[in-house]
Structure 1
Amino acid sequence: MRWDFASARAGSTSSHDPSDSSGSFSVTPITPVIHRWDVVIQDEEQYQERQYPTPEDLPSCMSLMDEFFMCYALVPQLRNFYRYGIPRDCTWRWKDFKYCLSLKSEPQERRVEGSSEDVWALREKPLENFPPLYPEEIQSDEVVQ
């Protein structure tokens, strides 16, 4: 919540009457101005920054290759063998590196296209009888099972 004190001060009046011997001030209360829309937009931007990766957050192929080779380094392998009795499995790091290389070899138009896993078609009009009616909402004598 943000308070706009500059405009609130401009609206407040304090008067001091020099002829008043008691020295009291009369102050009108300051009404805060709340910018709800700004707060909502700021919260949404912070939420999306945390949720969606930016290009700076995505690893490069070189960093993925470094992680792959560091996984097979002697000390991490010995530590894993000591703790669990088996060497460390680094195949998923190799798959990440390989995927990065395959994306780099694709042309720019292909990289920004939709995935082959995008199988949903955009619906132009709503489905008929959706959502389905419950049996007590049906006017006829038949009961839907």
Structure 2
Amino acid sequence: MSDGSFQAAVKQEEAYLQKVHPTADDIPGCMSLFDDFLLCNVLGAQVKSLYRFGRMSECKEKMEDFKFCMSLKSMHPEQKRDAWIRRRAEWWAARRVGKSSENVWDIRHEPLSKWPPSLSDSMQDTDTIA
């Protein structure tokens, strides 16, 4: 991941998050982040993660979010909002720019040739098989 594309993605994410969270009251509180951490550790979430990904759920990131929120307690609400938006923008930008499980297919810039097959091609294939 190039640093330029990452920084551009961070700026885009920050602009989006500032619109989604226009005031300091719109960002999640520390207790809701702690609740997210606890919900990550419950049996149902662990079983779902084991089924979907073949491993137990990793809740370290949710605990880091809670600790980050607690470190902002002494800040002015607008400064707290800006710091939270910056952190979330970096997280989203890293997901957008970095590789993920969704990067399985190559993007096609032009359609496949002879796809979908014409009816006459299908009929020829069945004639040679029979």
The two structures have a TM-score, normalised by structure 1, of 0.38
TM-score normalised by the chain length of structure 2: 0.42
Larger helix share, 1 or 2: 2
